[in-house]
Amino acid sequence: MLAPQRQAAILDRVRATGGVRVSELAAQFGVSDMTVRRDLDILADRGLLAKVHGGATLVDPGATDEPGFAAKSALQRAEKVAIAARAAELVSPGGAVALSAGTTTVELARHLVDVAGLTVVTNSIPAADVFYRDGRGDQTVILTGGVRTPSDALVGPVAVSAVRSLHVDLLFLGVHGMSERTGYTTPNLMESDTNRALISAAGRLVVLADHTKWGTVGISSMAELAEAQVLVCDAALPATARDTLAGHGIELLIADQP
């Protein structure tokens, strides 16, 4: 394999998994650690990844960077599965819930396909597909319509108009980032408008976010931190973040990983 081909393969792996180790790449491509480090130097000089001790990671995302659905699905996979399982415990048969777009809410959809009599409103194409393929005959699924984003969300005026006339018990909201100063944020302006409409339609707001979302800031705020009644996260959430959430009266549910 030529060096440019190897470097392209390394970049693809970083984008898919979020990070790589020098030793793993050396074994994968059958080259020395020094050769891998030179490849990483070249990619880092071009601004395509960030070198760290022993490997490389994605470049820190900007406020408007929006990874595709497949790329995001590979990040913090175990945490998202655990968070979804914990969040599913909040849903009762016969209820009406909304799922925003996001990889964690799609995991939640896989847990909700067996809930009897459930009505689901979503602007997530992958979540709607889960219910379409595996859901019960007594479930009702409403897909909002709208303009498709890189993360497979349907957004814009059509989506907002569809949501404004609806009312649900719970909204499960996936977020790009969260902080005390900016609240819950997204890198997509139209998705922010659609999520605000979903928040207005819900009796309770439940945010689903793994620990890496704390301190990350997208360009547009969807809600203030205290607007969420519940946050479901994994055990790696820092103690300072837990104290901040408690200070805002937010119930924190920690999802235990298997």
Per-residue model confidence (pLDDT) at position 168: 97
Residue 173, classed as helix, strand or coil, is strand
Per residue of the chain (258 residues), what is the pLDDT tens digit? 788 888 888 887 887 777 889 999 999 999 999 999 999 998 888 777 888 888 888 765 555 455 556 556 556 778 999 999 999 999 999 999 999 999 999 999 999 999 999 999 999 999 999 999 987 899 999 999 999 988 889 999 999 999 999 999 999 999 999 999 999 999 888 999 999 999 999 999 999 999 989 988 888 899 999 999 999 999 999 999 999 999 999 999 999 876
Per-residue model confidence (pLDDT) at position 92: 96
Per-residue model confidence (pLDDT) at position 139: 96
CB 39 within 8 A of CB 10: yes
The secondary structure of residue 105, as a DSSP letter, is H
Per-residue model confidence (pLDDT) at position 53: 84
In 69-200, where do the E strands start and end?
Answer: 96-99, 119-122, 140-143, 147-148, 154-155, 168-174, 177-179, 183-186
Could you tell me which of 94, 16, 19 has the C-alpha nearest to residue 59?
19
Token digits of residue 117: 């009599």
CB 36 within 8 A of CB 24: no
Token digits of residue 75: 């990040």
Q: For 42-85, how does the pLDDT look when each residue is reduced to its tens digit (9 = 90+)? A: 888 877 788 888 888 876 555 545 555 655 655 677 899 999 99
Q: Which residues pair with 206 in a beta bridge?
A: 172, 230
Per-residue model confidence (pLDDT) at position 1: 79
Residues, the chain: 258
The secondary structure of residue 144, as a DSSP letter, is -
Q: Which domains are seen in the chain, by residue range?
A: 3-57 (1.10.10.10), 69-255 (3.40.50.1360)
Between CA 103 and CA 105 the distance in angstroms is 6
